[in-house]
Amino acid sequence: MVATDRNAIGLMRALTDAGLVIPRDIAVVGFDNIEEGAFSAPTLSSVSQRFDEVGALAGRLALAQIRGEAVTFTSHILPTATIALRGSCGCATDALGSAIGERDRSLDASPALMQDELKDALCGALLTGDSVVDNPMRGAVLATVREAERLLRAGDDVTATEIQALTTSLHALTPRPDVLRRLTGAMTEYVKHWAATAARDRGNETAAASPERLTAALWQVQAGAFLQQSEATETALEEQSMVDAMLLDAGRSDPRHLDWLAGTHVRAGVLARWVDDSSSGRLQVTGTYDPENLLPNILGAATTAEHFPPTPLIDAARPANRDVCVVVPVRTKNLDWGLLAVVGEINTMSTLESYHHWVTQLCAAFEEEDLQEAVRESEERYALAARATNDGLWEWDLRTRDLYTSDRCSALLGLEPGPQTNRLAQ
């Protein structure tokens, strides 16, 4: 039993390199059920946590505490974890139905239970919490699950057109490649278990042709989703490079104006800087990015950390579009400038890393700006000091009682410039 799937995958690789056969010589089970586990060799059995339900519970507890309700200071546990049985533990068939262990314990699940698990997996990846969006989505999920069941029961009579229609239905459920990968993975697991159950009921381990054809089509969808994800990563890197170039270009406009967010996926943004310093607890909005005119009369407004981000910015996040408002501190280890809030689509793959990277570059721009201001002030002080030194230059020889003054000092005292023998008398 390994603490994380990534560690489990690395362990299996090391064991295989050492000549051991998994699961014949040793069984391995991970924890987290990440997508990579379905592609390891052998595929990784893992404890599947419902992070969405855990997050929803945390949100409910936080809201209850905000409302003043009593929230017990203890562990709050949801009994939602399940086990994704695959090839690494020897208790399930592998990806395409090839026998791995002595007996596939996943076959104990009834067809109705497998359908319910598939619907839960698809809904967990798709539902937003907005009933207007979720109700039609539940209907689409149910129709897709029923179509998959129908194709599997059709056996060898299923046509390529029908398989194509199912994959098209999966594509129609979401435009997001990362979510499509999750949907396709769940559907592939369902087809695999259905095929193994059917083979057991027939008294042999030979799978029908239709599950294999359906699995091959699902793997093709999965590969396409991976390609889309790769393209999305390239787009994110290009976006990051563009932001870097704009923030590091000293000749551009003030970075406080947030015009460097133009061309990114961000729909709106607000920057607030501390008044004096963070110990004051007071913030002032110094910049906005508002191409949709969602934030009227916010620029220059005074606020506090407790009331940031502004309500109009929070309202700009549309749950139906998977929008979220993210607040990132604009600070380094030694300096703290304020807070940046942006509204963009939820992306569990790279969004937060992008925002933190942007803030790092913004801090660098502010540090450069502060350094330039310090140099300018220093130059002014030196100029004033030099001028003062030149203005008041004088010397009095006590032995000879001669007084020497600079021309500027003579002019200030109303004396004639140039060397004078009777300067003291003057």
Question: How do the pLDDT tens digits run along the chain, 426 residues long?
Answer: 999 999 999 999 999 999 999 999 999 999 988 878 878 888 899 998 877 778 888 988 999 999 999 998 888 887 777 788 888 988 755 544 444 444 444 555 667 778 888 888 888 888 877 778 788 999 999 999 999 988 888 887 888 899 999 999 999 998 888 888 888 888 888 888 888 787 777 665 555 567 888 889 998 998 888 888 888 888 888 888 888 888 887 667 788 889 899 989 899 999 999 998 888 889 999 999 999 998 988 999 999 999 999 999 999 998 777 789 999 999 998 899 999 999 998 876 666 688 888 999 999 888 888 888 888 888 877 777 766 666 666 677 777 777 777 777 777 777 777 666 566 666
Instruction: Give the CA distances from residue 18 to residues 14, 27, 222, 234, in Å, rounded to whole numbers and listed in that order.
Output: 6, 15, 31, 36
- On the question of a cis peptide bond just before residue 310, with omega within 30 degrees of 0, the verdict is no
Q: How far apart are CA 188 and CA 202, in angstroms?
A: 21
Q: What is the DSSP letter of 298?
A: -
Query: With the CA atoms of 118, 115, 8 and 347 taken in that order, what torsion angle do they form, in degrees rounded to the nearest 10?
Result: 0
In this predicted structure, what is the pLDDT of residue 156? 79
Q: What is the value of pTM for the model shown?
A: 0.63
pLDDT recorded at residue 326? 93
Closest CA to 269 of 188, 141, 355: 355
The pLDDT score that the predictor gives to residue 102 is: 44
pLDDT for the residue 98:
42
Q: What is the per-residue pLDDT for 254? A: 85
Q: At what angle do helices 209-248 and 160-173 cross, to 10 degrees?
A: 30
Chain-centroid distance of CA 291 in Å reads 22
What local confidence, expressed as pLDDT, does residue 109 receive? 60
Residue 201 three-state SS: helix
pLDDT of residue 54: 83
